[in-house]
Every structure is written in structure tokens, then in C-alpha cells.
Structure 1
Amino acid sequence: MIIITEFMDEVAVREGLAGREVVYDPSLVDRPEALAPLLADARALIVRNRTQVRPALLDMAPNLRVVGRLGVGLDNIDMEACKARGIAVCPAMGANDDSVAEYVIGTAMLLLRGAYRANADLVAGAWPRNRLTGREISGKVLGLIGFGSIARAAARRAVALGMKVAAYDPFLAPDSPAWAQSWGKVTPMLLDELLAGSDVISLHVPLTADTRRMIDAAAIARMRDDAILINAARGGVVDEAAVVAALKAGTLGGAALDVFETEPLDAAAGAAFADVPNLVLTPHIAGVTVESNDRVSWLTVRNVLDHLEREQA
């Protein structure tokens, strides 16, 4: 049995998994009592980022051989517990890079320009041209924290728009060929140098003990007062309260948060973001477009079936 607990492209489910015993129910992520009895017969489990694949769940799935991840982040999956049980974990590497990269550039342009939230004023007869004079993206410095495939996709688009690009990645040596891409050069920087010198800062790191709240009040204080911060990586990498305080104080130019420490946000957690200026909030959607959902879903289907077929061979 293949169990799918979160949404994916239904054509990929219907056609890609034809002939297999499949339970596709995106509500299972919120109904553990309904998921539990299904796990006993599961050989494959397909999830996004909300289903918590921890030892308690794995203990209920003695026949599980593979977990397909509809995306690339793995912080909701206990990799060591899977390894100990001989369970393969297959993320959909590269399938949503373009979607996240476009989100980064799109929200950067939105926040720099600052001209797209005037509907109410115009409907009311106001004409706030002076207040809405924003900034161009061309000539600005994009600082990337982490320089993996998504960051490189964002950098390629940024260079095409006339931006300069710098990146901090402690896992890449200063002489790595990754810094000299065919479409332009990316300047490696230390983190403090990048924070101080970037107009737009975008996060591209997993959530680990080292990255948890790496963007805190002290890090924000090192940024320019008009800098734009974008987090489409993982909730918990940014100290949300520090971002809110900086935006209210005018010591941060703008922020886009697509991921949060608490997901999904409930009303209590969401209230902390009410009436905060120059803030864009989106519900962990940067990597999900019609096109990327199709790519991620089909890649996950192939990954899962390939693994099951290898085990049967």
C-alpha cells in the first residue's frame, strides 16, 4: 500500500500510481487517528512538510520501505530513525527550484518598489505618489545565505535583472567552481559582511541546531535599515519577534516570510504579525506553483516506484 498524507498532483496519483493500492487523502496529515490504522500495511509513505515522520509513526509502519518527500526539506523526517529501520527517504531534489527562486525575486521587487498596496487610497480618492516612490532592483546587492541549487536559481535571475550577488556558505570553499557560474560571478562573503552589505537578504538553509534563529535581533542590527529580508527556507531560522520589532521600529526595510516556527499559523500566532508595515506573509507556498506541483509529484512517484521495484527485483 502507498499512503499519501498531503496534497499532490492528482493526475500523478491517478496515472503514475495506476495499478497500485493507494490511499490518497490530504486530510490525513491532520487526522493521526485515521492515519494510524493504515500504516500497518504501508510499504510507501508520501508526505510534504507537515507530516511528522518520527519514531512513533515508524513504529506503526513495520512494512514501510520508502518515504517520498514532495519537496526537499527533511526537518519533518527523522533521518536516523529511518536509516535504522532500513527505510529510504527520497526528496524531490530540484523540482521546485524555479518556483522558490521566482518567489524570492518577485517579493524582493514588490518590497523594494513599495507601490502595490495603494488600492484603498486610490478607491478613496487619494493620490499618494510621493509616499509610494520606491526603489529599483537593478544595481542592488542580493545576499544569499546558503548557496545550493535554489539560491543559484535565484542568483541567475538576479544577475539578469542587473543585481550584484554575494553568498555565504560555509560548506563551499572560497575557490569552489560554484562561485563562477556561466551566467555571472557570485562573491563569497562571511556572514557579517554579507548582512552589512546587502540590499536584499534571502535565506536558503535547512533548519538545524546551527541555523535555528541565526537571523535574530543581533543579526538584524547588522543589516542596513532599508534592507529587505526574505525567508522561504524554514521557519525557525528567523526570530520572528525580532523581525516584527525591527519593521515597527523602521530598522528593517521590509520582509517576506513564507515559513514560520508554528505551521500552520493559528489565530494566536498570527496576531503577532498584525499591522506590521512592509511585511509580506504567505503560507509556505514559495515552492508550490501549478508547474512545480506537477514536477514534484511526478518525480516523487518515480522515486517511490523505482525504490519499490528495486526491492522486489
Structure 2
Amino acid sequence: MSKPKVLISDKMDPNAARIFEERGCDVDVITGETPEELAARIGEYDGLAIRSSTKVTPAILDAATNLKVIGRAGIGVDNVDIPYASGKGVVVMNTPFGNSITTAEHAIALMMALARQIPEANARTQAGEWPKSAFMGVEVTGKTLGLVGAGNIGSIVASRALGLRMKVVAYDPFLTEDRAVELGVEKVDLDTLLSRADFVSLHTPLTDQTRNILSRERLENAKPGIRIVNCARGGLVDEAALKDLLDSGHVAGAALDVFETEPPAKDHPLFGTPNFICTPHLGASTTEAQVNVALQVAEQMADFLVNGGVTNALNMPSLSAEEAPKLKPYMKLAENLGSLVGQLAHGNLTKISIEREGAAAGLSGKPIEGAVLAGLMKQYSDTVNMVNAPFLAKERGLDVRSVRHEREGAYNTLIRVTVGTEQGDRSVAGTLFGSDAPRLVEIFGVGIEAELAGHMLYIVNEDAPGFIGRIGTLLGQNGINIGTFHLGRRDAGGEAVLLLSVDQPIPQDVVKQACDLEGVKFVKPLEF
């Protein structure tokens, strides 16, 4: 039997090639090729190990007739067309935790540079000045650091800040009281964090929920003299607002390693602003981090190619070949239920229960659990998958429980997902129609049958005549076509639920108009 063949197409620590060879793969290291040269070569390889330089486009994937796995040494996979790779049956892996310490240390370094105005003082001193009286820094000892995101990187920043004798407060939807105590931080909401923090460090992915999380309004209401550090993702901070508030002095300083558009324009408004520091996305740029991610991607890819093991895959669950056909529709149902409850549940999540009954009770629980957690965690992380979702949930202190019921219920097969929040438990349930068609059958205690797909709108309203006409008229006036329409209610004249699918994303102004309709209690756009 021939050995799997791997191509390393970007510069990578040489020990990565050694690991491939030791674990039973043949490996070639050929870097710097043009896309055309790579396309001509890639057909003979089973695995492709890359960094950020190689762009894995549809043209490359079409030429990769034997390719089974792409391994990205690092976290970002913007240079890989993952949907197209999935369609080709190619697994895409990354190494999401190999540069955590490096990124955390860069955040601390930028915080210290802000506190003592080091870059500006250095520039003026090297220019021949001796501006000793021009720079009056602040100590970090005794100051409060606010962490927006307390996951893997945020928790490392917390430990370093505590070592500097800082007080640490943290905002994270998945941070439990027990985990906060373990980290030595105080759990607070975002507005409280911004009102108390002297320094803020961002450690959250860029999602629809976190985009411009530091908006103009939030920055204006933050503690005067606050200093902001972002080594996470561009787009988390309103850059125009940050410029204005630096100019006014309300924000005392800001340090960005990432920008909304990279590289930023040479005339970016923030450039040249006093008390502003920037670096060119250096969070992961240390020798140690580059070695770590190279070794990790080689280990993961070799394990997959030689033994069939799957680690940190972005488009494939940890399934055996025998289990996959039977579990596939259940996993789609489970992921949808996790996504639904993640989009609708309010407050910090403390626990999640995944119950299986009927035919579902006889299936392997781990893949279903992983699918539920992947759907849930995708609301907060852009690198989550069915493999690393359980780890991310555990890291945040989320109590995960899987329960198998032998009892017979109203449905031949059923999966129920319940999350615990500060407002109480919230539960959704679904089944399969015809053995392979996932359907929602219950949402927060209300029976409702619906397919979860595409763009949807969830509305809680008073059960009264005329409401269906009002919402239909509103959407029609805004040119939004309704695909499906599903209704449920607790009792006549009481609380009712409407779940409808539409052909395009619903603009925020239309959502606001829906909120203002007579009898409406709650409106939430959903995406599946």
C-alpha cells in the first residue's frame, strides 16, 4: 500500500516535514509557486499543508483530484474556499489554539505601550529630542482591565494581568460564575465593564453579534480616559468613532493589531492620531507560535491520512464511515436546534441538556452532542466545528449533559435541547419526517412544526385577530417575500408564536417596524 503524499506549499518550520515522514507520509516542500504551477502539481497529493500565502481556490480544488485534506497552520482560513472544498469531499483543518499565548502576550505588550506612550516617546527621542516632560504615563498596578471575551486567549490575558496586580472584569456570554472564580475575574455585563475599566482588551471573534461591539454609543458612555486594545479581529471597534473620541480625549489611548480592512489605507484616519498605536496583525508572529502551529497541523493531517482521525476539522464531524449515513440527518437536526436556542436564549448560558428519545436514543450520543454544541457556539465563534465545540463549551464552564430516554413519546424519534439561563430554562425539540427531513416541533413550550433553513423571522405576539394580516402587509410593503408560515400558541387569546421563512435577510429597520406592530412582544431574525 502506497504512503499518503503531502505537499507543504508555504514556508513552515522544517520539523513539520519530519513529523509527516515519521508518521508514515511522503512529503514534498515546494513553496512560492504561482497558482497555475500549484494547480498543475496538486493532482498527485493527498494532503496540502499551508499557511496564509497559498490561496486554495475552486480552480486549485478542481485540479486536486486526489486531495483528501487541507491543513492550515494557524487559525484563519480566509484563503481556503471551505464550501467548495466540502463539495469536493476535502476536509479542511486548522490549528485554532497554537498561537494563544503569543496573541495574549501581544495584547499585554500593547497595553503596556499605551500606558507609558512608548512608541511616541521612542520616535521623538530617536529624532534627537529629549522630551522627558512631554510624556506622563500611568501605572497598570491597581487598574481595572476589562476583557471582552474570556475564552482561551482572554483567560491567558487575565492570568497575566492578575500577575501585574490588576483587577480584571470580564464579559462573555458563556462565562459562568464558577469559571470566573477559577480565573480570578469578576463577571459583569458589557455596559458595566465599560463603565469601570481603565483598559479594555478584546478577545472575541467577529460575528453578526460582535460586529462593532464597541460602537460609538458604547464608547461615548465608557469611562472617561479608557484605553482600548484589540488583537482579536478588525470590525469589533467602530474605527471612525474611535478616531473622534481619541481626538476629544474621552478615549485616552488605543492600540490596534487588526483593522476592519487589511491592510488599511495609507490615509487611514487613525494614522497620526496622538495616543494611537498600531501593528500589522502581529498577534501570532513569534517563533514559538509558528513552530507550534506547524507541528500541530502536521500531526493532525498525518493522523487523518494514516489512521482516519479527525481533529479541528472545520467541515467534518468526528464520525466513522459506518455511522455517517445514519447520523447525518440527526446531526443536521441537532445543529439546527443548537443554533436556534443559541440565537434565541437570553443571558449567560450556564448549562445545556441534550435529550434523545425513541429511535434517536439508540444512536451514538457524541456526534449529536457535538452538532448541537457547534450550532450553539457558532453564535459566538467563527472557528467552531463539531470537533472543537465540546472543548470550547467546557473551557467556558458550560455544563453539558446528554440524556438517553428509553420511553416512547409522541414522536418515533426526538431530540430536545434545553439551556439554562439567568431567566430560567429554555427548551426546543425536533424530529425527523420520513427518516431524513429535520423538523422543529416545539419551541419554548409551544408546539409548532417548521423546517429550519435560510433566513427566518421569529415573533412572539398576542393571539388576536388581524395580526397575521398586519405582519404580512408589513413584509409585503418592504418587498420581502414569505416562503413558509408557521404558527403556534399556548392557548386561545394567550401568547402566540410565529416562525416564517423569507427569501432574503430582513433589514434592521423592518425588524424595528415589526416590533412596533400592535400586540408584538418580541422579534428576532434567525439564520440557518
The alignment partner of 1:117 has SS state of: helix
Alpha-carbon spacing, 1:122–1:202, altered in 2? closer, same or farther (3 Å): closer
**Are residue 20 (structure 1) and residue 26 (structure 2) matched?**
yes
Letter in 2 for 1:174: T
CA distance in 1, matches of 2:113, 2:19: 38
Question: What is the DSSP-based 3-state SS (H/G/I as helix, E as strand, rest coil) of the residue aligned with 2:237?
Answer: coil
SS at match of 1:245: helix
Residue number in structure 2 paired with 1:309: 306
Q: Distance in 1 between matches of 2:261 and 2:59?
A: 21
Identify the residue that residue 180 of structure 2 maps to in structure 1.
179
Deviation, 1:275, is 1.2
Distance 2:81 2:256 in 1: 25
Q: Deviations over 1:171-219 (max 9, x none)?
A: x1533x32122xx521112122222221111111122222223223223
Q: Partner residue of 1:229?
A: 228
Question: Are the structure 2 counterparts of residues 84 and 122 from structure 1 closer, same or farther at C-alpha, using a change threshold of 3 Å?
Answer: closer
* Paired residues of 1:230 and 1:257 also in contact (CA < 8 A): yes
Letter in 2 for 1:37: A
Distance (Å, rounded) in 2 between the aligned partners of 1:20 and 1:44: 10
SS across alignment from 2:251: coil
Report if aligned partners of 1:75, 1:206 keep a CA contact under 8 Å in 2. no
Q: Which structure has the larger Rg over C-alpha atoms?
A: 2
Indicate whether 1:256 and 2:255 are aligned.
Answer: yes
1:68 aligned counterpart, secondary structure: strand
Structure with greater strand percent: 2
Partner of 2:71: 68
CA 1:32–1:194 in structure 2 vs 1: closer, same or farther (change >3 Å)?
A: farther
How much has 1:81 moved relative to structure 2? 4.8
With over 3 angstroms needed to count, the CA separation of the structure-2 counterparts of 1:290 and 1:77, relative to structure 1, is: same
1:168 corresponds to: 171
SS, match of residue 179 in structure 2: helix
1:160 is displaced (CA, Å) by 0.6
- In 1, the alpha carbon distance for the partners of 2:9 and 2:245 equals 38
TM-score of the aligned structures, taking structure 2 as reference length: 0.52
Deviation at 1:131, TM superposition (A): 2.3
Change (3 A) 1:259 1:122: closer
1:224 Cα deviation (Å)?
2.6
- Which secondary structure state, in structure 1, belongs to the residue aligned with residue 66 of structure 2? coil
Pairwise CA RMSD:
2.8
State the AA in 1 paired with 2:181: A
Identity percentage over the alignment? 37
- Which shows bigger deviation, 111-120 or 48-57? 48-57
What number of residue pairs does the alignment pair up? 301
Q: Deviations over 1:117-141 (max 9, x none)?
A: 3245445664433321110111111
Q: Per the alignment, in what secondary structure is the counterpart of residue 131 of structure 2? A: coil
> Compared with structure 1, are the counterparts of its residues 120 and 142 closer, same or farther at alpha carbon in structure 2 (3 Å cutoff)?
closer
Q: Is the 8 A contact 1:151 1:204 kept in 2?
A: yes
Are the counterparts in 1 of residues 39 and 59 from structure 2 also a CA contact under 8 Å?
A: no
Match of residue 95 from structure 2 = 92
What is the match of residue 49 of structure 2? 46
Which residue identity does 1:270 align to in structure 2? K
Taking the aligned partners of 2:171 and 2:53, their CA distance within structure 1 comes to 28
In structure 2, the partner of 1:274 is 271
Q: CA deviation at 1:112?
A: 0.9
**Is contact 2:44-2:64 (8 Å) kept?**
yes
Which stretch of the first structure deviates more once superposed, 293-302 or 193-202? Answer: 193-202
Indicate the larger mover: 117-126 or 94-103: 117-126
Residue 142 (1) aligns with residue 139 (2): no
1:73·1:206 contact (CA, 8 Å) conserved in 2? no
Query: How far has the Cα of 1:73 moved from its partner?
Result: 3.8
Q: Distance in 2 between matches of 1:55 and 1:92?
A: 23
Mark the CA change 1:169 to 1:275 in structure 2 (over 3 Å): closer, same or farther: same
Contact kept, 8 Å, 1:115 with 1:133, in 2: the verdict is no
- TM-superposed deviation, 1:149: 0.8
Inter-partner Cα distance in structure 1 for 2:126 and 2:148: 40
Alpha-carbon distance between aligned partners in 2 of 1:6 and 1:224, rounded to the nearest angstrom: 45
Is residue 7 of structure 1 aligned with residue 11 of structure 2? yes
Distance 1:135 1:192, change over 3 A: same
C-alpha separation in 2, matches of 1:247 and 1:158 = 24
Structure 1 distance, partners of 2:155, 2:36, is 41
Q: Which has the higher mean CA deviation after the structures are superposed, 216-225 or 150-159?
A: 216-225
| Distance of 2:79 and 2:189 partners within structure 1 | 29
Pair 1:64–1:234, CA change in 2 (3 A)? farther
* Structure 1 residue 143 displacement after superposition: 1.2
Partner of 1:156: 159
Amino acid at match of 1:68: G
State TM-score, norm by structure 1.
Answer: 0.83
Given candidates 134, 138, 143, the residue that maps to 1:131 is 134
SS of alignment partner, residue 135 of structure 2: coil
Q: Which position in structure 2 is the counterpart of 1:220?
A: 219
Structure of greater relative contact order (alpha carbons < 8 Å, 6+ residues apart):
1
Give the match for residue 246 of structure 1: 245
Q: Residue 93 of structure 2 aligns to a residue in which SS?
A: strand
1:100/1:150 contact within 8 Å kept: yes
Per-residue CA shift, 1:267-286, capped at 9, x if unaligned? xx132143122222212211
Instruction: Provide, for residues 139-181 of structure 1, a one-character-per-residue CA deviation record: whole Å limited to 9, x for no partner.
Output: 11111111111111111000011111111111x1533x32122
Number of the residue aligned with 2:294: 297
The 1:231–1:58 alpha-carbon spacing in structure 2 relative to 1, beyond 3 Å, is: farther
Counterpart residue identity of residue 49, structure 2: I
- On the 8 A contact 2:73/2:297 being kept in 1, the answer is yes
In structure 2, list runs of 5 or more residues that go unmatched.
310-528
1:66-94 per-position Cα deviation (integer Å, ceiling 9, x unaligned): 22222234555555554454433332243
Say if 1:258 and 1:284, in contact at 8 Å, map to a contact too. Answer: yes
CA gap of 1:241–1:20, structure 2 versus 1, over 3 A, is farther
Q: Following the alignment from structure 1 to structure 2, what is the Cα–Cα distance between the partners of residues 48 and 244?
A: 33
